[in-house]
Amino acid sequence: MKKLSHRARGATAALAVACGTLFLGACDVQNQLLQPQQPGVISPSAVTTATAADALYAGALGQWNKVMNGSPTNSGSNQEALWNWEALFTDEIRSVDTFSQRNDDDQRNLATNDVVLTALYNAAQQARGRARDAINALATYDPSATGKQHVGEMYLMMGYIEMEMSEAFCNGIPFGETVNGVPQYTQPLMDADGFKLASARMDTALTYLTASDPGTLNIKYAALVTKARAQVDLGDFAGAAATVASVPTNFQYNFTYSQTTFDNEWWVEGPSVKRYSAGDSVDVAGQIFNAIPFAELNDPRVSITDTHQKAEDNHSDFVQVNNWGRDDPTPPLTGIDAQLIVAESKLQTGDIAGMMGILNALRTSPQVIGVFKIPAMAPLPMPPDKTTATNVFFREKALWQFERGYRMDDLRRLVRQYGRTQDQVFPSGGFTRNGTPSGQFGTEVAFPVPDYEMTNPNFHGCIDNNA
């Protein structure tokens, strides 16, 4: 106690005066001041009211946002989340940074002890736990209609994270939980089982989302789109289309940002610090095979500015993405995504005309994603065959869902469900690091589960690294 600050000593004096004047003999100054002070931690004993349960719910929602596109380690901005790491792994974004971890991710050459990957993996697993804590508290202390709605949203959160992790990581993710402070270690799951788990979470969520008010309907639509995404991952295209049949095209479930909480990470890594540049199909090392040239397309769904400036590495040209400002909302789930699920179900049955009808209906009407406005575009011509139609579909999908956590899963599905090889799908060819040609792109198609998971005695590394 010799290192108490002046403020702490002043507080001691004030409390002593109060005790001596008002409650002589009824106040133990030393014991009160030496109680553990954890202003950032809510202990289980403190969550015994509906208000406290609601605080856990709000905190969990914030963590979900940060895990996907914020700063998941609570260390401030300039720290990747899962969407950002996925974008680097694919053709959406190129690293123009000196940090080896970002370049390794961009090159598809990640190690199991990668510190950034480990941090975002841990944050995602911990966010699942926060959702579970909120569910337990809400179920106990808030039986109101609002409490039921919040429970449904927490199941949405858990299932969405489990789905997103299964879309990005190798086969072999353990989805354990902590009960009363004791870790409940589970067996690693194949990604397909992770999708089944996510789908089951949505079924549970929907049992709580039966009201017809706008707020509940918005969460219900989010659960339906999430369930349909898991169904697509499992190859149930017709079932997925049926799941989202009631979702309106203008529906949006947004992640929100503010300068008093945390920034939109796309703005941080892009315009703010210039570590991310728009993906392209050519670099100083030559052609990048399979990559969509987002930087050069001049497509209104990906707003680009060639800044004619050097990026953070002081060598690469910085091509800025303008879709998201510092505090702009960004939706993980929209009615546009639901329409794309229906379109893919038609592609699967060979109904190319039906697929193109949906794609062109989206194109020929103005759309809004978050607050990013997309003007009407000209319709696309009819593809001559299913292979061409598949190429058109996934290109359109990539543009509608740019930087929203879909692209990596789609590239894996092109391998797993459409029979293509990784070198026909993922960026391939010469790789550029710090503005200089540096080897070739790697061959990984999924993130490895990091070594940190080895604390689980059931986990011994990825079951496999297949798509």
Determine the pLDDT at residue 74: 61
Contacts 24+ apart (CB under 8 A), 463-467: 463/170, 463/171, 463/172, 463/188, 463/190, 464/170, 464/171, 464/172, 465/170, 465/171, 466/170, 466/171, 466/416, 467/412, 467/413, 467/415, 467/416, 467/422
- What is the band of 16 on the pLDDT scale with cuts at 50, 70, 90? very low
**Encoding tokens for residue 270?**
């892009």
> What pLDDT does residue 106 have?
98
Range 47-258+328-455 has CATH code 1.25.40.390: yes
Is residue 77 scored above 80 in pLDDT?
A: no
Q: Is the distance from CB of 201 to CB of 159 less than 8 angstroms? A: yes
Q: How far is CA 305 from its chain centroid?
A: 25
Q: What is the DSSP letter of 128?
A: H
- pLDDT for the residue numbered 395: 98
Q: DSSP letters along 6-47, please?
A: HHHHHHHHHHHHHHHHHSTTS--HHHHHTS---TT---GGG-
Residue 103 pLDDT: 97
Two tokens at 159? 């299932």
pLDDT exceeds cutoff 50 at 36: no
The model's pLDDT over 401-452, given as tens digits with 9 standing for 90+, comes to 999 999 999 999 999 999 999 999 999 999 999 999 999 999 999 999 999 9
Question: What is the DSSP secondary structure assignment for residue 467, as one 8-state letter?
Answer: -
- Side-chain-side CA neighbours of residue 58 (13 Å): 9
Q: Which of 79, 12, 126, 89 is nearest to 452 (CA)?
A: 126
Token pair of 395, please?
A: 């290109």
- Res 188 pLDDT > 70: yes
* Per-residue model confidence (pLDDT) at position 79: 85
Could you tell me what percentage of the chain is helix, strand and coil, using 3-state DSSP and rounding each to the nearest 5? 50, 15, 40
Q: What is the distance between the alpha carbons of residues 80 and 68, in angstroms, rounded to a whole number?
A: 9
Pairwise pLDDT comparison (334 vs 37), residue with the higher score: 334
pLDDT digits (tens, 9 = 90+) for 291-330: 999 999 999 999 999 999 999 999 999 999 999 999 999 9
Q: How far apart are CA 238 and CA 325, in angstroms?
A: 37
The pLDDT value given to residue 179: 86
Buried b (16+ CB within 10 A) or exposed e, 411-449: bbbbbbbeebebeebbbbbbbbbbbeeeeebbebbbbbb
Q: Where are the domains of the chain?
A: 47-258+328-455
Amino acid at site 97? D
Between CA 412 and CA 116 the distance in angstroms is 22
Phi, psi of 14 (to 5 degrees): -65, -45
178 pLDDT band (50/70/90 cuts)? confident
Give tens-digit pLDDT for 153-168.
Answer: 999 999 999 999 999 9
Q: Does 40 have pLDDT greater than 60?
A: no
Question: Quick one: CA torsion of 66, 72, 77, 80, rounded to 10 degrees?
Answer: -100
Q: Which of 409, 451, 443 is nearest to 194 (CA)?
A: 409
- Per-residue pLDDT band for 75 (boundaries 50, 70, 90) equals low
